[in-house]
Amino acid sequence: MQVTEGAEQLAHGRPAVERWLSWSGLVPLPAFLALHLARELTWAFGGDVSDLVRPAPGALSQVTSWLLVWLPLLVHAGLGVFFLLSGRPMTTLSADVPPLSRLLSRVSGALALVFIAYHARTYALSVWLAEADARDASFRLLAELSSTKLGVPALGGAYLLGLLATVTHAGLGVHRALAAEGVLATPARRQASARACAGFGVVLFGVGAAAVIRVATGVLLR
């Protein structure tokens, strides 16, 4: 009980900016990744090219995605860059988050930021700016991932690397956020959380990688 109470007191005593960093990433990113990658896998394994035509998003859908996904991610990315550039230390207990885990979270976070920013600009933002049609997103992704340079699907490989970094950062972020909030006050809870988050990341990467490889190999063009 004393350990639990001490962890909860530390969690609630953290600066508000750190709690915003934790919760802005904890709430949207894992759920968005699970839904988005599952949907991409469904399209990637469509029986015909015509199955790739996506329905045009309505106004409510666009507003919801911006408020519940992109706005929290912008806040999370902005705060993450602030902590990274300022060198400001986090108040999380080192026992809960080892230094190697922190380093991996930062490296994967930086790579994930580049990947998500590119993906958002190429697809979500281009539709919002009326530069592209949302219904053609699958065809544009198909053209990108199936392209090669000197016979090598470089963009497909870059997508896999970006996907790996994103799911790694998401899994570590969920574990770190729960630890920082005092939810994982005992070693047993921390171990269970670490295993669950790692398993979640492996499943997400497997789903996303299956979709990327399916599209990059050009199977849908045959």
The model's pLDDT over 65-116, given as tens digits with 9 standing for 90+, comes to 788 788 888 888 888 888 778 776 666 544 555 777 778 888 998 999 999 8
Q: How confident is the model at residue 14 (pLDDT cuts 50, 70, 90)?
A: low
User: Which residues 6+ apart lie within 8 Å of 33 measured at CB?
Assistant: 166, 167, 170, 204, 208
Helix (H, G, I), strand (E, B) or coil at 12: helix
From CA 188, how far away is CA 200, in angstroms rounded? 18
pLDDT at 6: 44
On the question of pLDDT at 218 being above 90, the answer is: no
From residue 107, alpha-carbon distances to 62, 164, 186 in Å are 31, 12, 27
Quote the tokens at residue 217.
Answer: 């190999």
On whether the CB atoms of residues 169 and 101 are closer than 8 A, the answer is no
Burial state string for 100-111 with b = 16 or more CB within 10 A and e = fewer than 16: ebbeebeebbeb
> How many domains is the chain partitioned into structurally?
1
Q: Give 155-183 as a DSSP string.
A: HHHHHHHHHHHHHHHHHHHHHHHHHHTTS
pLDDT at 63: 79
On the question of pLDDT at 19 being above 50, the answer is: yes
On whether the CB atoms of residues 76 and 29 are closer than 8 A, the answer is yes
> What's the pLDDT tens digit per position in 132-151?
787 777 778 878 887 877 77
pLDDT at 99: 75
From residue 99, alpha-carbon distances to 36, 83, 93, 104, 155 in Å are 31, 16, 10, 9, 32
pLDDT at 164: 94
How many Cα atoms sit within 13 Å of 153 on the Cβ side? 18
Percent of the chain at pLDDT > 70 equals: 82
DSSP 152: B
Range of the domain at 201: 2-221
> What's the pLDDT tens digit per position in 165-202?
999 998 888 888 888 777 887 888 888 988 998 998 99
On the question of pLDDT at 10 being above 90, the answer is: no
From CA 29, how far away is CA 18, in angstroms rounded? 17
CATH number of the CATH domain containing 132: 1.20.1300
Of 2-11, 45-54, 66-75, 80-89, which has the strongest mean pLDDT? 66-75
On the question of pLDDT at 8 being above 50, the answer is: no
On the question of pLDDT at 2 being above 50, the answer is: no
pLDDT at 162: 93
* Angle formed at CA 170 by CA 157 and CA 74, multiple of 5 degrees: 95
Percent of the chain at pLDDT > 90 equals: 12
